[in-house]
Every structure is written in C-alpha cells, then in structure tokens.
Amino acid sequence: MDMLENMRAKASSAFAQLTHGRADGRESARGERELRARNTLAFKGGSYSLVLSAVVLAILVGINVIATSLPTSWTQYDISASKLYSVTAATKTAVNALDEDVTIYWIVQADEENSVIENLLDKYDQLSDHITVVKKNPDTYPNFAEQYTDSTVQNNSLVVECGDRSRYIDYNSIYVTSVNYTTYSYEYSFDGEGAITSAIAYVTSDDFPQLYVLEGHGEQELPDSFVNQLEKANYEYTSLSLLSEGGVPEDADGVIVYGPETDISDEEKTLLAEYVSGGGKLLMMVGPTENGTLENLASLVGAYGVTVEDGIVVEGDSNHYAFRMPYVLLPDIASTDVTESLANSGYYIVMGEAQGATVGNTGEATVTELLTTSDNSYSKLDGYAITTYQKEEGDVDGPFALAVSIEDESGGGIVWIGSSAFLGDVYNSYSSDANLEFATNALTSLVDEGESTAIPSKSLGSEYLSISETDASTLKLVMLGVLPLACVAAGIVTLVRRKRGRK
C-alpha cells in the first residue's frame, strides 16, 4: 500500500508539473503577443508623431516664407515710446497725394546699412508706387553724390529727386544732436521722417509759402527749433520792417510777430490791421514785457473783442501749474483743428510768463479760445515786479484765454498767443516739444489751412514727465507715506500671526 500511495503521489506531482508547464507556456505566449502588439502600437504612434511633426514643421516653414514676403507694416508692430519705426499721418497724406515719380537714393556701403533708416525707407516704398528706393554704394559709384552736394558724404545719407529738382539729406540731419539748456546736456533725436517728407514736398512743388518776420521793436530771435520746423515745412521767410517797406509785401502768405520788447507805432498798427482785414494772416507770440502791455499790438486783437489784460497770469489751482511755480501754467487745451493732435496725445503745453485775455463781443469775426486757465487764476498787475504769488487787491480775476484764433470775415486771420517765452528752449523742453508743435500747428492753420509736412523729430532719449502740482503731491504722499506705512502694517500683521501660531 505504501508503495502504491507513493506511486500515486509521484504521478500526481508529475501531472501537476506538466499542467503548470503548459500554463506557463500559454502565459509566455500571451506575453509575447502582448509585447508584439505594444511594439506595433508604439511604432505606429511614433510614425504618426513623426509625420505630424514633419507636417507642422512644413507649415511653419511655409508661414515664415510667406511672412518674409509680406510688407513689414503687416508683420511688425512699433512699441517704441517715440514711434521710431512708424510714419505719421502727415507723411501718409503727403505721399498718397503724389502724382509724380520720386526716387530716394540711399548712399551706403555694403553691410553698413542703418536698420532704422532701412525700416523707414521700406515704409515709404510701401506707401506709394510713385516712390522708388535705390541703393548707391559709394565704392561702386564714387562720384554719384558730387552732382548733389559739395560736402563730404557719410554712409546712410540720402538724396531725394523728382525730375530736375533734388535735395541732399546728410546723415547728421537724420540723427540730430542738440543741447538741452535746462540740464546742459546733449540730447539725441531721429529726424529721418521729417527730413524725407520735407524733401519730397520740396522736389514735387515749386510754390512755397512766403513768410515775413517783424523786426524793429527789440524782437527776440526765433528759436532754432522753430526755424527748423519752418524749413522742414518748406516755408521761405525773411525779416520785415514795416516803416521802411511802407506795408506788408504783396507776396506775403503770413507775418510773424515774436517777442517784441517795445510797442509798434500807430502807423504800423494801421498797416497790420489793414493787412488782416484784407485777407492777411498774422501769428502773434507776444507776452508781458518790462514796459507792461504793448497797447498797439494788443489793439490788433482788441478790434475783434479780445481784451489783453495787464500783468502776468498766476494760477490758484494746483492742477494747472507745474514745479511749485504758479506762473508756470498748464492750460486746458481746447479741441480744435489747431490743438487736436495735442488734445488727444496726453501732452501738456507748459506756458510760463504769460498774459491772459478775455473774449467779449466779437462782432462778425469768429474767435476761438485755444488755451485757457482755470477759474481760480488771476493776473498779477505788478508784472515782473511781483513779490508774492498770493492774490492781492487790484489783481484781475480769471479765467483767461492764453491763446485765441480769430477769423476775419474777409478771410484774414490772427492767432494770438500770450507768451513768447513758451517757445524758448526751457519751456519747450519741459513740454517734450508740445509747445513747438502748438506753434507750428498755429502757423499751419493760418498759412496752409491744412496739415503741415513739418514733422517733429523723434527723441532717442528720455522725455520730461510734466504733471500738475496736485498730481505731484499725490504721488509724494503715496510713495513716501502710504506705501511705507502699508509695508510696516503688513509686517506687524505677519509677526502677530506667527506668534499666535506658536502658542
């Protein structure tokens, strides 16, 4: 029996081993099939990913190829503060109006192209089919520039040509260096657009406005910045002595009166009044003087209901003056054709040492106030002899107009601005050239009755941030008071919470 049981046990064990072996074989075969299936799926997935990656890469390459052929105006966005890589509406208007072919020669050696100038020229080339940009390598064409200038020609200089008229634009006229008299430091700006648009207007026209600048009354010299704007607008100007000429020349498109120290004579007043009533245009930038109000000059606008008040305007509203100096005015800017670009730009006009005016019965003329003070302003009758900015008995209450535009029924016109100092280097720098733009727009509204091609240069440095005295005080309070106290309070709260958490 023992032998029989032993044999049975051995048989059972052998059967179990056989059965287990078959199961192991089946499991192994199943595992191999699953592995092959996984490998097949992985291969298919990898192939799909490879094909998809190739398709995406091909699409991206195609997009890049197409993008490179598109105009840069479609593919690039100018985020520079001064819009260095954009052109203004004035340029677009001037270029789109072209009916003659203009060639811009770019004098530059190979691999010496200035990227900003290249981008600008590309903009002009895209704006009109009448504009062609041609590179001229001075190594290949060494005598090309001699027919346009006797000066030494630098790389990236330009020549604008139309027919038999041309203008040479030196590289130093594109990248301009000037002196800031408020900081006694150099400032750098880019004037490529202004120079090119001015040159295009010059070579496509032979009729330019003729201006006369009054002299003989201690007038100040026109600031260089304003003279540059006149030249860029292709205005021709010369000095004028009314007494020696006996009147305003017939070819005058406008007369400028800038910063006289003494009054004009009765005869000169009559000549200028007749000039305006006959359709003439007069830009007056006349502020307070040591001699008080210049009565005859003031009477030119007085004939249209504009009364120039004695003294110097002082602001009682801290939102309307700057630098803690109540006579450095930040006037409200009306929305007119003259001021529209400034009213929408967020810039301040900074006007110091100004006379104010009030507008009464204007008769048949149309009078528009361009710049105005607040209701809290007043005119200090002591003028330059003032000893306090506080309002005193006898001072004239505001509000005042600091600039007005007058349209005579004859078609003549006057723009009166109650300050000449505002156009000087100091106040113009404070305004980041907004003062210059205002004066240029005022002249353009009189003479051109359209949009000026005198485009201001674009700063390559920092600009002044002009804010009112109220805003300055608020910023000081926040930066020196609120923020430090908030930080201290946050630290105390955090410390208290940590101590409570330990208990």
User: How many residues comprise the chain?
Assistant: 503
pLDDT band at 52 (very low <50, low <70, confident <90, very high): confident
CA–CA distances in Å: residue 229 to residues 213, 225, 399, 403, 422 = 15, 6, 32, 20, 16
What percent of the chain has a predicted confidence (pLDDT) above 90?
Answer: 55
Model confidence, pTM: 0.71
pLDDT band at 118 (very low <50, low <70, confident <90, very high): very high
Out of 317-321, 346-350, 447-451, least confident range: 447-451
Number of C-beta neighbours around residue 453 at 10 A: 22
Q: What is the pLDDT of residue 46?
A: 66
Residues 301-311 have a mean pLDDT of 96
Over the chain, what is the mean pLDDT?
85
CA angle 108, 114, 115 (to 5 degrees): 135
Residues 348-361 have a mean pLDDT of 94
Q: What is the pLDDT of residue 465?
A: 53
Listed ranges 9-13, 66-70, 144-148, 370-374; the one with the highest mean pLDDT: 370-374
- Please name which of 131, 237, 133, 228 lies closest in space to residue 189, comparing C-alpha atoms: 228
Residue 34 has pLDDT above 90, yes or no: no
Cα distance between residue 298 and residue 414, in whole Å:
12
Out of 181-190, 217-226, 414-423, least confident range: 181-190
Residue 292 has pLDDT above 70, yes or no: yes
Q: Residue 225 in contact with residue 183, Cβ under 8 Å?
A: no
Residue 70 has pLDDT above 60, yes or no: no
Residues 118-140 have a mean pLDDT of 94
Q: How far apart are the first and last CA of the chain?
A: 82
- Which residues, in sequence order, are CB contacts of 97 under 8 Å at separation 6+? none
Out of 170-174, 204-208, 242-246, 357-361, least confident range: 204-208
Cα distance between residue 330 and residue 349, in whole Å:
6
- Please name which of 272, 275, 216 lies closest in space to residue 244, comparing C-alpha atoms: 216
pLDDT band at 21 (very low <50, low <70, confident <90, very high): low
Residue 270 has pLDDT above 90, yes or no: yes
Listed ranges 16-25, 222-231, 369-378, 387-396; the one with the highest mean pLDDT: 369-378
Residues 202-229 have a mean pLDDT of 92
Residue 333 has pLDDT above 60, yes or no: yes
Take residue 461 and report the two structure tokens written for it.
């440095």
Out of 83-87, 237-241, 439-443, 464-468, least confident range: 464-468
Q: Give the model confidence (pLDDT) of 248-268 as tens digits.
A: 999 999 999 999 999 999 999
**131 backbone φψ class: left, alpha, beta (φ>0; ψ -120 to 50):** beta
pLDDT band at 83 (very low <50, low <70, confident <90, very high): low
Which residue pairs, CB below 8 angstroms and at least 24 apart, start in 178-183? 180/425, 180/429, 181/425, 181/426, 181/429, 182/425, 182/426, 182/429, 182/430
